[in-house]
Structure 1
Amino acid sequence: MATTTPARERTRREIEQQAMALFGSRGYDASSLQDIATAAGCSKATVLYHFNGKPAVLAAVLEPSRIALNELVAAAEEMPAAAAQEFALTRFIDLAVEFRGLINVLQDLLGTLDQYPEFAQLISAGLRLTEILAGGTDDQLEIDLAKFAINGLLGECRHPGERSDAELHTLCDTALRRILRLNP
């Protein structure tokens, strides 16, 4: 017997999908809750029934990438520094390519992201990733290089139509390895 998705869950998913489309095309700030409701075919009250505001909608849209980043960090923390660095580099590139549409949305919010409690775990995981990519060292230059590498990768992933996934993956892998001075 086939199972059906309850209407409430379908509505929530539709809101998330439409919000992502609007955030990606217009930007987060230029998309209102009413815009999201209209695109999802529901009322603003329905959106607010499912989410307590626009940051909560964005947090739901980002949830799969947050979970994946947390899993990356958790797995890397169980490894020796060199293995963790290699694993984190490879897996982070995979995630950046997979979630490249979300990166464009996030890049516009980076300056204010820490103002939203919904994103505390994402910020924490990003900071931990930076430390892992720096090779687990306290050397400020290595940490700054890791930040630079991450920001460059994220910046390049902002333009989803310019490169194929394979081209973007190759570019990011080569660039990060050179910046972080890792052998291919």
Structure 2
Amino acid sequence: MAKAETTDEGVARGSAEPSAVSMAVLGVEGALVCAALFVAVLGAQEGPGGGEPLAALAVVPLMLVLTLFAGGVLTAAYVVPAVRLAHWTARQLTGRTAWWWIPPACTLWVLPALAVPAWHLAGLGLYAVTLPPALAVHVTVVRARAGRPVQPCAAILSWGALAVGCVVIGGGAVVAVG
């Protein structure tokens, strides 16, 4: 879908593939969840039913690996098909693709969860987690089709690392003060 572009030096540089962009955004979301878990465990107090709070930090790397695996599954089964459906529907109805077709297309995968009242929160969580990567994939595909440069995954991961650092440092400061 995305194509290579030429820089000022004449060197061809590959642009980001839509699935890679989705994985990068889902990875950043997962890392933010792990950072928040790290801060929460750091702030946990040793109580009568709990053990050492730092012992629970061993779970954070495992959760990050599990999050990356879930990101791959969500990309293949949810995000990319939703973006393709949105683009196809938009081209059939209006002749062009626009970002506002993405949220309704992402909603279709959540509709079965609305049939069971106990799954409403899980469906809303799934929708909230997958909408940002779907929008990022849409932007990547549209820009690549127009021949414009797309956001490389390195930039997404760099900004995500900055956000994770802010969460850990800010949360650690709040825990240390409180």
TM-score w.r.t. structure 2 length? 0.28
Name which one, 1 or 2, has greater alpha-carbon Rg. 2
Larger RCO: 1 or 2 (CA < 8 Å, sep 6+): 2
TM-score w.r.t. structure 1 length?
0.27
